[in-house]
Structure 1
Amino acid sequence: MRVTQSMLSNNMLRNLSESYRKLGKYQDQITTGKKVNRPSDDPVVVMKGIGYRTELNKVQQFSRNIGEAYNWLDTTDDTLDKIGSALQRARELMVQASTDTLTVEERLQINSELQQLREHIQSLANTKIGNKYIFSGTKTTTPPFDNGYPAEPIDDAFFKGIEIEVFSGIQIQINTTPIQLLKEIDLMFADINTSMDKKSAGELSSFLESIDNVMDKILTTRADIGARQNRIELMDERLQSQEVIATKQMSENEDIDYEKAITNLITQESIHRAALSTGARIVQPTLVDFLR
């Protein structure tokens, strides 16, 4: 086959163009820190990267869900703790009221503080996170107490749990539904209010057992919350490990080795200079050059 000058020139230009393309590729890698900057650079790396990034996004979303779960459970536990403290104070007051030496006026003064505790517990029962009541089941826009009275009717929605996904296929209930217990506590304070000036000290002491019963129920409810908090902590630790693994996999797939990339760039620059030098020798003098 006869090799012409035009063939040599075209091959040289094609090789120079490919050399420029490789230089540009290595420069892009060093600038962005990524092995690929467009799908055509390496489709396999791009497809793997999509999978790793999807997995990382899922893990990060689960982490945000766990943050929401922490918020609900911690707020619920703190609120029930304050209700327990109010009940403990109510018990102390009922012990005083059950003394035979107290006059009716003194008992009414004690009852005044007890009813203040009742209102305090009602306000705690209406605790919200954002615009959602935490003790209203799935009826998060309905307060358990409205103007000092329990919500009516207490339908099934007040007892339904709100679940949130904290890992693939794993749902955890983040709310607590003690609406019946809160109503029982409020009814107990109402009975105390009507009985304080009518019953004897011995009859008033029966309320101590009622207070103890509701306090035990509060502790049982908090124990359930504590169990879920422990589960959330375990899931949080698992997700943190998963996030580290997913980030590492994505980095190994996409990020460049700077030392290798810089070496490739320097090598390609040397190749490019050699190609330019060789090309200058390939392009032979023409007749015009001799006529100058």
Structure 2
Amino acid sequence: MQMRVTDGSITTRVLANLQRNVARSGKIQEHLSSGKQINRPSDNPTGTVSSMQLRGESRINEQYARNADDGMGWLDTVDNTLTQSLTQLNRARDLAVQSQSGTSTPQSREALAVEIDNIRASMIGAANTTYLGRPVFGGTTTGSAAYDSAGTYLGDTGEVLRTGGSNAQVRVGEAGPDVFGTGPDQLFAVLEGISASLRANDVTALRTGQGKLDDASGLIKQTLSDVGARYNRLSQMRESALDRQVTLKSQISDVEDIDLPQTIMEMQLQETAYQAALAATAKVIQPSLIDYLR
């Protein structure tokens, strides 16, 4: 039994094939114009899932890098403040030693005491140093200052943390008492005691105050060492996040981006195939009697 193939069925089939050819050409053209091989989830469902996962991880690493930058800003502020504070403490110690020379007069001791008072006020100002509007020595306080003018601590003992990596947090702030001491050994109280000892010419109290001043300087130096170690750790975390970001961008490109030379070649082949199909169609669909009767 033979099946009869009419001109109409041939025409319908040929036009359908041509339409599919045009659709494939349009899809390749879309890839070329966008530079992406995934323009909608239906283009590659598996690749879409992989792309979303990689992009999610990329955003996480971007946040890690931003957190590290912010934390390094905190620690850099703390480091600069404490370094300058040590210079002032060395000056206060020199003044205390100078007053014990045996040739001091009430007027000279008063001048030294006034300078000590100024150093104390300057140190309280340094203790209220802020970064982005928050006191770096105030713990997690929401206030604008860590100490009042009398040297009383206004902050708390909470820790300011920054996440620089997966399950990796670094403390970036400081609680004032951990840096400047507490009670009679507090730096501001020690400076106030040295000033009073100078005015009273109390050599014994002055020497005691000088020893406490050395202890306060040692505490600040210890804090500086710890701050440097934490800064280096955050710096390494930042570099790791940025390196991982480069890797993720490369992986995302492998999933989403087209291979430009290959896509151009596919486009050219598709155009050639389309032209060949048109030529074949012209030979298959011959003019019929109806065409001559029109």
Q: Same fold (TM over 0.5)?
A: yes
Q: Matched residues in 2 for 1:116 and 1:20: separation? A: 84
Cα distance between partner residues in 2 of 1:123 and 1:279: 89
Secondary structure (helix, strand or coil) at the match of 2:200 reads: coil
C-alpha separation between the residues in 1 aligned to 2:228 and 2:92?
Answer: 25
In 2: Cα distance, 1:20 partner to 1:79 partner: 70
RMSD over aligned Cα, in angstroms? 1.7
Q: Which residue of 2 aligns with 1:30?
A: 32
Indicate the residue corresponding to 2:99 in structure 1.
97
Counterpart Cα distance in 2 of 1:223 and 1:32: 52
Picking from 174, 177, 182, the partner of 2:175 is: 177
One-letter code aligned to 2:159 = G
| CA contact 1:99–1:201 (8 Å) conserved in 2 | no
Q: Which amino acid aligns with 2:10?
A: L
Q: Is the 8 A contact 1:30 1:261 kept in 2?
A: yes
Q: Tell me what 1:128 maps to.
A: 130
- Residue by residue over 1:141-177, the C-alpha shift from the partner in whole angstroms, topping out at 9 and shown as x without a partner, is 252222344135x6xxx21211221112211111122
Structure 2: distance between partners of 1:290 and 1:23: 35
Mapped partners of 1:237, 1:120: distance in 2: 36
Contact 2:136 2:174 in 1 (8 A): yes
Q: Percent identity?
A: 30
Q: TM-score, normalised by structure 1?
A: 0.93
**2:96–2:194 Cα contact (<8 Å) kept:** no
Pairing of 1:1-292 with structure 2 (within 5 A): 1-151=3-153, 158-179=156-177, 181-182=179-180, 184-201=186-203, 203-291=205-293
| Structure 1 residue 70: Cα displacement | 0.6
AA paired with 1:76? V
Letter in 1 for 2:197: S
Structure 1: distance between partners of 2:9 and 2:163: 66
Range moving further from structure 2, 78-87 or 203-212: 203-212
3-state SS, counterpart of residue 39 of structure 2: coil
Q: CA deviation at 1:205?
A: 3.0
SS of equivalent to 2:145: coil
Contact 1:66 1:232 in 2 (8 A): yes
Distance in 2 of aligned mates of 1:206 and 1:163: 37
- For the residues of structure 2 that align with 1:203 and 1:174, how far apart are their CA atoms? 37
Shift of 1:4: 2.1
TM-aligned CA deviation for residue 90 of structure 1: 0.7
Cα distance change on mapping 1:18 and 1:62 into 2, 3 Å: same
Deviation at 1:36, TM superposition (A): 1.6
Structure 2 CA distance for aligned equivalents of residues 95 and 101 of structure 1:
12
| Offset from partner CA, 1:92-132 (integer Å, 9 cap, x none) | 11111122101011011111111111111111111111121
Structure 1 residue matching 2:53: 3-state secondary structure: helix
Letter paired with 1:275: A
Change (3 A) 1:61 1:123: same
**Tell me, what secondary structure is at the counterpart of 1:172?**
strand
Corresponding letter in the other structure for 1:110: L
CA distance in 1, matches of 2:20, 2:83: 72
Instruction: Count residues in correspondence.
Output: 288
Amino acid at match of 1:230: N
Cα separation, 2, equivalents of 1:234 and 1:162: 19
- Which one-letter code corresponds to 2:76 in the other structure? D
Q: For 2:199, what is the secondary structure of its paired residue? A: coil
TM-score (norm 2): 0.92
The secondary structure found in structure 2 opposite 1:27 is helix
Higher relative contact order (CA 8 A, sep 6+): 1
Q: Which moved more, 1:196-205 or 1:186-195?
A: 196-205
CA contact (8 A) 1:134 1:140 kept: no
Listed as ranges, the gaps of 5+ residues in structure 2 are none
